[in-house]
Amino acid sequence: MAGGTIAAPRRFRPTSGLFLVLGLFLLWEVSARTGMVDSPNWPPLSRVLAALVRDTLSGEMPMLVASTLARMFVGLAAGTLAGVALGLLFGASRFAARMLGPTVELLRPIPIPAIIPPLVLFLGLDNTMKVTIAAITAFFPVLTNTAQGLRAVEADQIAMARTFGVPAWRRLFRVTLPAILPYVMAGLRVALALALVTTVVAEMIAGEQGVGHYLVLMQFAGRAEEMYAAVLVLAVLGYALNRGFLWLERRLIGWFFATGRNG
């Protein structure tokens, strides 16, 4: 029995959020079946699930999800790298922060869907544009969190590394980056949720790619079941990405949470 206690099997309590979700699903089914909402654009959940099963078994939905996720993750990676690099510059150099700060603060609040039309003009309608959208989405939260994290790194840690003669590049990789990782992760978590939204919006506007395009195509084809199946997939995808990220966060910066702080 070394190593701890036996975990009791988890039971759903009446206050569990899952019951609310199930209740809403039930309301969906009943409202469509009984005519509470009388529209072909409001099909019963059971028919939506049947369409989802059909699209999954045909391989269409998995392909669409994979293509959307691929674009999102490539953009996320590019935006995160750029955000961390510029965030470090911001945090390390007051001059850089003074010079670039106003531009960043002006651009940051612009809703991403608003910049899609000019991006279409410069980058086209394909992957380049959609990946760039995801990258821009990730860039700003990661940038601000990295800069904030760098400012929050305890001066003592840096000073001690300096005292021990740790070279600058090693200080960066061994002291600074690990110390700011929780902040970067917090920014990335925000970016992850937003990147899924903006990638799908970009797919909805133009091109013939991904879940976003499928959703619009089905809407215009009057196939509400398939359209809501795509919406359900996006909901589940968003939830799964968040849960997966939390799991990864606990693995990567468990030490941060062990100090009693909360990401």
Partner 1 sequence: MTEITRRAALGASLALPLMAPALRAQALTRLRVSVIPVLDVAPLHAAIRHGYFAAEGIEIDTSATTGGATGLPGVVAGQFRMAFTNTVSALLGVREGLDFRFAAAAVRSQAAPPDNMAILVRKGSGITSGRQLEGKRVASNTRNNVVWLRGMAWIDKTGGDWKKVTAVEVPFPQMADALAGGQIDAGLFSEPFVTAALQTHGDKLERIGWFIQETAPSSSVAQYVAMKEDLEKNGEVFERFARGLHKGTDWVNERLGKPELLELISGFSRVPVERLKDCGFTVYVKDVTEAEIAEVIATMTRFGLGGRYPAPSELIFRTAKA
Q: Indicate whether 211 belongs to the interface with partner 1 (CB under 8 A).
A: no
Q: Which of residues 70-129 bind partner 1 (CB under 8 A)?
A: 117, 120-122, 124-125
Is residue 223 classed exposed, middle or buried when 0-12, 13-18 and 19+ CB atoms within 10 A define those classes? middle
Phi and psi at residue 166, to the nearest 5°? -70, 125
Beta carbons of 138 and 79 less than 8 angstroms apart: yes
From the CB of 125, what's the least distance to partner 1, in Å? Answer: 6
Q: Which of residues 231-260 bind partner 1 (CB under 8 A)?
A: none
Q: Indicate whether 206 belongs to the interface with partner 1 (CB under 8 A).
A: yes
Instruction: Give every CB contact of residue 210 below 8 A, 6+ residues apart in sequence.
Output: 64, 67, 68, 71, 130, 199, 200, 203
Nearer to partner 1, 95 or 220 (CB): 220
- The window from 28-36, 69-77, 160-168, 211-219 that contacts partner 1 (CB under 8 A) reads 211-219
Instruction: Give every CB contact of residue 92 below 8 A, 6+ residues apart in sequence.
Output: 150
Nearer to partner 1, 16 or 41 (CB): 41
Q: Which of 23, 40, 62, 102 binds partner 1 (CB under 8 A)?
A: 40
Q: Indicate whether 32 belongs to the interface with partner 1 (CB under 8 A).
A: no
Nearer to partner 1, 39 or 262 (CB): 39
Fill in the amino acid letter for 19.
F
Render 139-169 in DSSP notation, one character per residue: HHHHHHHHHHHHHHS-HHHHHHHHHTT--HH
Q: Which of 95, 164, 169, 220 binds partner 1 (CB under 8 A)?
A: 220
Q: How far apart are CA 84 and CA 87, in angstroms?
A: 5
Binding site for partner 1 (CB under 8 A): 38-41, 117, 120-122, 124-125, 205-208, 213, 216-223, 226
